[in-house]
Amino acid sequence: MVGETMKSSINAALFGTLHKVFGFREFRPNQESIVRAILDKKDVFAVMPTGGGKSLCYQLPAVLLPGTCMVISPLISLMKDQVDGARANGIRAAFLNSSLLPEERDSVMHDLLSNSLDLLYVAPERFTLDYFREMLCRVQISMAVIDEAHCISEWGHDFRPDYQNLSDLVTLFPDVPVAAFTATATHMVQHDILDKLALRNPLIIRASFDRPNLFYDVRFKENTDVQLVSLLKQNTGKSGIIYRTSRKSVDDTSAMLSAKGFRALPYHAGLSDGNRKRNQEAFIRDEADVIVATIAFGMGIDKSNIRFVIHADLPKSIENYYQETGRAGRDGEAAHCTLFFAQGDISKLRFFIDAMLDETERKRALDALSKVISFASTSVCRRRTLLDYFGEHYQHENCSSCDICLGTREVVDCTRDAQMLLSAIVRTEERFGAMHIVDIVLGSNNQKIRDFGHDRLKTFGVGKGRNKKYWRQLIDELLAQKVIEKSEGFYPTLFLLPKAVQILKDEVSIDIVRVVEKKKENKLYHTLESQKAPCDQELFELLRVLCKQIAQEQGIPPYLVFSDRSLHEMATIFPRTAEAMLSVSGIGEVKLRRYGRYFLRIINRYCSTYPERTP
């Protein structure tokens, strides 16, 4: 009887806190089991995708447990957002890192020592300091959390030496739970993390890597500027990230978009600290719609309403691609991930890989690149391919949310055309590059062709029926499918691999994935949105404007007032009382008390003006 009473009391506290503080009536998958394990003082290791709600897994126990939850995170630029988000829900939170002024640091230390904090975020470098460890022994620590735990593994995509010291956590805190979280980890990385951290009989959670609200789309790169402008016009007024490989391309793309009237800003390590911070803040606060960035950007933000991510260049690995696309749709709303792919990107990445001195690192980077190329070239469901990489089998035949499954791409037998290209490569003794081979099959009448006598080859002009874009794309496909290879150097030439001989002898065929209809690409940007409950768009925009006004007054990002998901729900169910407002996802008692009356005023006024629209 006593046991049942205690269990009932724990459940009441658990779900009561979930609703009152965080505004949710139910847990997302895996959250409840993680929270209960932590409350039972059990160690945890969890692989949860971005947007899976991992912060709630430790923030909720931090509210319920006596003492301070210490969160070790490498993302200094993200800590302030995480603290602001926790405080918006009424949680006592602070951070300690090098960005604080001495008096600010002293204030945080005072709050920590006086047991006035539920959450404290610290950088891994601080944990290595002896004085900080000694001070922690004088503080009541409720639990220790390692965020971005893949950083401890040398097999991970973002290894950080400072994370190696975190193996001391279990001995430093023998009586409190230690929880490690990461959004991306293969089974090998997971094993390495568990080995290094030496967690004590931990609960191990490996959540699904599937992000059903994300749409995956791969397009052949033609004119990048024109393609980017087209996509941004389809996403007018929405927040998005465009990833580029180099600083120069970031600056050029940002300048081009700004000149065309888009609110776009650059972000890369070559900018001054001040400019980088200002641009990031402008994006987070919805004062800029688009950030054009190298991969240096993204890990330092917690912005939930990013509606699209565009890779204008090829990412270095599947882990990078997954993590970078994962920055879209963190609020659970529909978001689109577009990757532009061309052979030139491979050459750029190969240049950096070839410069690596460590042979093991070079082989690892080449293997990672080959998997990205395979993903971009595949005719199989993008989601299935991604999940397969992380060791997860996708159960459905059609995901209905990628370019392949929607039928906007088709698989075409191009064996005959491939033979034309391969024959041209053979007849020119494998001494020429891609553009020259394309010119031969197109029958181009240029001086170089005539000088070498290539206008007299049997393959000269055999491909006149198709355009240059098609032949370039086919060469990319032959390279991706390991039919041909490029030599190294400033003037790379094409040469045949064993599979090419089989194709020339008609022993094997080769397929290419291509767009069915140009106009069908537009439907990619409406598929996921059409699956949502109907939302009054005019009311949503009014609520969004109000959200931004409040955020500006309080100096916080708009999504910390209410997420797009909460606003969409308000514009769908039209809550007209405080009680009804509490039924909206993401609205707890603290946020209702702070902001509820302003939004209720707008909703009630809108209902009075347009009674016919009220559900």
Quick one: tokens of 98?
A: 């090098």
Which residue segments constitute the domains of the chain, with CATH numbers given? 2-206 (3.40.50.300), 214-408 (3.40.50.300), 412-513 (1.10.10.10), 533-613 (1.10.150.80)
Residue 166 backbone phi and psi in degrees, to 5: -70, -10
Give residue 515's pLDDT: 62
Q: Give 215-238 as a 3 state SS string.
A: EEEEEECCCHHHHHHHHHHHCCCC
Which residues contact residue 348 at a Cβ distance below 8 angstroms, ignoring those fewer than 6 apart? 245, 246, 313, 314
Long-range contact pairs involving 319-324 (C-beta distance under 8 Å, separation at least 24): 319/156, 319/157, 319/184, 319/186, 319/368, 320/157, 320/295, 321/372, 321/375, 322/184, 322/209, 322/386, 322/390, 323/50, 323/157, 323/183, 323/184, 323/298, 323/299, 324/241, 324/243, 324/295, 324/298
Would you call 313 helix, strand, or coil by DSSP? coil
Give residue 1's pLDDT: 45
CB 19 within 8 A of CB 25: yes
Would you call 171 helix, strand, or coil by DSSP? helix
Give residue 157's pLDDT: 58
Q: DSSP strand E in 57-202: where?
A: 68-72, 93-96, 119-122, 141-146, 178-182
Which residues contact residue 309 at a Cβ distance below 8 angstroms, ignoring those fewer than 6 apart? 240, 241, 243, 324, 325, 327, 328, 335, 336, 337, 338
- Bridge partners of 68, per DSSP, are 141
Taking the C-alpha atoms of residue 178 and residue 349, their distance in angstroms, rounded to an integer, is 38
CB 576 within 8 A of CB 608: no
Taking the C-alpha atoms of residue 357 and residue 85, their distance in angstroms, rounded to an integer, is 43
Return the number of other C-beta atoms located less than 10 Å from residue 358's C-beta: 9
Q: Which of 403, 421, 434 is nearest to 513 (CA)?
A: 403
Strand 141-146: give its sheet, edge to edge.
Answer: 93-96, 119-122, 68-72, 141-146, 178-182, 44-47, 203-206
Taking the C-alpha atoms of residue 292 and residue 109, their distance in angstroms, rounded to an integer, is 37
Give residue 454's pLDDT: 93
Give residue 523's pLDDT: 52
Residues of the chain with pLDDT under 70: 1-8, 154-159, 296-301, 409-410, 488-490, 513-533
Taking the C-alpha atoms of residue 188 and residue 79, their distance in angstroms, rounded to an integer, is 29
Q: Which of 68, 17, 61 is nearest to 39 (CA)?
A: 61
CB 24 within 8 A of CB 566: no
How far is the CA of 412 from the CAs of 240, 329, 416, 428, 440, in angstroms? 33, 33, 11, 27, 23
